[in-house]
Structure 1
Amino acid sequence: MRIAMISMHTSPLEQPGSGDAGGMNVYVLNTARQLARRGIEVDVFTLATRPSQGEIVEVEEGLRVINIVAGPYEGLSKEELPTQLAAFAGGMITFARCFDLDYDVIHSHYWLSGQVGWLLRDLWEVPLVHTAHTLAAVKNAHRTADDTQESEARRICEQQIVDNADLLVVNTAQETQDLIEHYDAPPERIVVVSPGADTELFTPGTDRNTERSRRLLGIPLHMKVVAFVGRLQKFKGPEVLVRATAELIKRDPFRNVRVIFCGGPSGANATPETYQNLARELGVERYVRFIAPRPPAELVAVYQAADIVAVPSYNESFGLVAVEAQASGTPVIAARVGGLPIAVDDGETGLLVDNHDPEAWADALEQLLDNDERRIAMGEAAVDHAQNFSWAAAATQLEAIYADAMSIQIPDCHERRAAGY
């Protein structure tokens, strides 16, 4: 089996936590790795961003990342990438022709890739499997009043993909309902595949590991530590955590707490300075610290150094950070949105907050920061809970989905004319 994965707007090899790189990058890289280890040939097609990358990057046996030149290497925002869809599709066609490659299935990730996949599905006469990761209609339904609205053009493009993909892969049952409610997706073409976590890398820290992690990060050993891991954009909710911190300090000016934000800016209106300035305005700048995104091998130290990981997103298709944190033995406080109620076992491995009111978040943080026994017990339970999610299991499901997709008959021109297309 040979799979053409498309991740046009962001490479799986990019550092998650900044720019457009996030949970989707982790998902694509880890599922592709596990598929390759099952003997499936996987090529991941992505947009070239610098000439030094080379056209083909051999990640491991059976897995390659193909950098397609489409438009300038730099200077195009994600919102401008639709102008390069034809160029990107042309680059994929040329690559497959030059190396005499035939793919059995196309698996596109995100709507930009889905548009390319839709074209190649009919050209190559192979099935299209699509994973949206985020949906315009859902983001608009959950965004704050001052956040940028997703365009109607994107929603229309997503509707076209839903109408034409052979199978739609989602992370949770909630995403299934979102596709049915907002895009009239046929339920029989939707398959749920839970993402995973690298539970061999993300492991609980011993007291010595926690001490070492805090020393590496420059965090006093006696402090209670709350960590935020992810892109610094309004939709991820960093402002909620800054304001909740201010509420905590207002309640107890002598509280020994540090809040670490590990991530980079994403989007036109997001910079670290935005949230640093907010912390300064609220008088809590000395309690808040911002650090750059880390590769997974270093991100473990952030999870292990934290007493709590906060995920105040306005929506998450699943919530990989929540699972990675729990695998590392750290309880999670998360918003009760999207797939987070599946990722976090409320009351057992963390707490779910019903809204984004800073006072409600301060209440939840206070519950665990002030109750060492409960917090530690949750961290221990979190490790077991995280074992339910693995990339190997996700890849096993995907292989079966690809096999099902290959059995779908793609209508040829004669059949289309007979059916009245």
Structure 2
Amino acid sequence: MVSVHTSPLEQPGTGDAGGMNVYVLELSRALARLGVQVEIYTRATMSAQPKVLDAEPGIRVVHISAGPYEGLDKNDLPGQLCAFTAGVLRAEAHRPEGWYDVVHTHYWLSGQVGWLAAERWDVPLVHTMHTLARVKNAALAPGDAPEPLGRIIGEEQVVAESDALVASTPEEAEDLVRGYHADPARVHVVPPGVDLDVFTPAGAGPAGPVPGLADLAADRRSLRERLSLPPDRQIVLFAGRVQLLKGPDVLVRALGEMDEPPLLLVLGGPSGRRTAVRELEALAYQTGVTEHLVVRPPVPREVLVDYFRAVDLVAVPSHNESFGLVAAEAQATGTPVVAAAVGGLRTVVEDGVSGVLVPDHEPSTWARVLSDLLADAPRRAVLGAGARRSAERFGWERAARQMIEVYEHAAKVRAGR
């Protein structure tokens, strides 16, 4: 696997680390459990990082030096792809011939590296885009900068050269075919998974029943005490990178439209602009809702699951999502999700079953939807039960088995070429 701009070992929720980190690591874990040996190439970001790290059985992470360790974000990395590719080829040169069976790249930067490596080693190239520049540019948040032409050209090249393309949803597959002229026969839909043993409802074991209202209330009070959250306030959680694409500003503005605003808890760090969190807090001040906003840094998934369980609703107001792992993980804990009706969120969130899809990003619309749900505890309980059932559609073992089939199909395509 190649993941140039972000390591699967990094904490998601700040900088360039997000759902892709979770995807690469959890898919690798599931593949390893099925007997596939996985080696992940990523860029070194600290001098103290070991060049090779056996992360866990069956998974090895290789840190490649390419450019300075600090101070680069993904927009600076196209100029380092030559150095990164050289490092990958150099590392492989120490292996016996035919060491790798497939190259699976993530995001277009990695696809550029994998394109050359797969040609050099004569193995199939499988690529997962995660986000598409043309789709992203068509749904920009107000004030957000469009993706550059260089990225669009790079994505087109990777699409043309890949033996297989992996889309998370049918919508993404259609975007690849319609927007990038991908060969439909090479596009495979493999939904990401959720760790259903970690993300469980409060008071329930893995795949156990959703507890009743009384038990849920008691567990929630205990969790809030442990997490230093107010026990009697209604809480809406936003978990993710603080950037315009993810839309946390929509929620802050919505608070200003509500008669009885809940507490908006943001778990995330700045992404893109280092001042993003301060800008969000300034917006809350300007809107007059400072006392209703709490921002905390991102947390490991073992803690994140308790936050999901402790709140009343999880909000995902993104302007674009290829899948929406946060929504899927939140639903697995039995917490309803209010999400924008965009991209993969329309697949992950079953409107009226596991949560509510919001048709636009108008603060007044979000204020109305959130207010109605927060005022209706029985409806939230029904949606919570549906949320867990909905999340059980997604499992990493299923995703890994489907991915192995994609790898085998890509090998046949490669042989035919």
Deviations 1:308-366 (A, max 9, x none): 00000001001100010010110000000001111111011110000000000011101
Runs of 4+ in 1 over 3 A off after TM superposition: 206-209, 409-412
Residue of structure 1 aligned with 2:116, choices 110, 114, 119: 119
1:53 maps to which residue?
49
2:343 counterpart of 1:338: yes
The answer to whether the Cα contact below 8 Å between 1:241 and 1:312 also exists between their aligned partners in 2 is: yes
Deviations 1:272-325 (A, max 9, x none): 111000001111000110010001001011101110000000010011000100
The aligned counterpart of 2:230 is 220
Contact preservation (8 Å) 1:125, 1:410: no
Task: Assess if the C-alpha contact under 8 Å between 2:46 and 2:70 holds in 1.
Answer: yes
Identical residues among aligned pairs (%): 48
Distance 1:277 1:256, change over 3 A: closer
1:341-380 aligned at under 5 Å gives the runs 341-380=346-385
Question: What secondary structure does 1:92 align onto?
Answer: helix
Q: Measure the CA separation in 1 of the matches of 2:328 and 2:408.
A: 28
CA drift at 1:241: 0.5
The 1:275–1:256 alpha-carbon spacing in structure 2 relative to 1, beyond 3 Å, is closer
2-structure distance, mates of 1:99, 1:160: 28
Shift of 1:99: 3.3
Distance 1:148 1:70 in 2: 26
1:161 maps to what in 2?
158
* Matched residue SS, 1:407: helix
RMSD, aligned CA: 1.3
Question: Unaligned 5+ residue runs, structure 2?
Answer: 204-215
Residue equivalent to 1:275: 280
TM-score (norm. length: structure 1): 0.94
Pairing partner for 1:323 from 328, 331, 340: 328
Conserved 8 A contact 2:3-2:106: yes
8 Å CA contact 2:5–2:73 kept in 1: the answer is no
SS at 2:6's partner residue?
Answer: coil
- 1:140 corresponds to: 137
* Residues 163 and 414, structure 2, Cα contact 8 Å, conserved in 1: no
Q: Gapped runs of 5+ residues in structure 1? A: 413-421
Aligned residues: 403
- Matched with 1:184 is 181
Instruction: Sort the Cα spacing of 1:320 and 1:265 in 2 relative to 1 into closer, same or farther, 3 A.
Output: same
Counterpart amino acid of 1:350? Answer: G
Q: CA deviation at 1:212?
A: 2.5
Kindly report which structure 2 residues correspond to 1:25-174, keeping only aligned pairs within 5 A, or say none: 25-100=21-96, 102-174=99-171
Contact 1:246–1:282 (8 Å) recurs in 2: yes
Residue of structure 2 equivalent to 1:416: none
Alignment match, 2:271: 266
Partners of 2:222 and 2:404 in 1: how far apart?
40
1:193 aligned to which of 190, 213, 226: 190
Number of the residue aligned with 1:211: 221
Deviation at 1:205?
1.2
Corresponding residue of 1:403? 408
State how far apart, in whole Å, the 1-side matches of 2:256 and 2:197 are: 36
Q: Tell me by how many angstroms 1:37 deviates.
A: 0.8
Contact residue 141 and residue 247 of structure 2 kept, 8 A: no
Measured after TM superposition, the shift of residue 381 of structure 1 is 1.3
AA matched with 1:131: T
Q: Secondary structure at the match of 2:136?
A: helix
TM-score normalised to structure 2 length: 0.94
Following TM superposition, by how much is the alpha carbon of 1:145 offset from its aligned partner in structure 2, in angstroms? Answer: 3.9
Aligned-partner Cα distance in 1 for 2:195–2:312: 20
Residue identity opposite 1:65 in structure 2 = V
What is the identity, as a one-letter code, of the residue corresponding to 1:235?
A: L
Q: Which residue of 2 aligns with 1:419?
A: none
The letter of the residue matching 1:58 is: D
Matched residues in 1 for 2:90 and 2:385: separation?
52
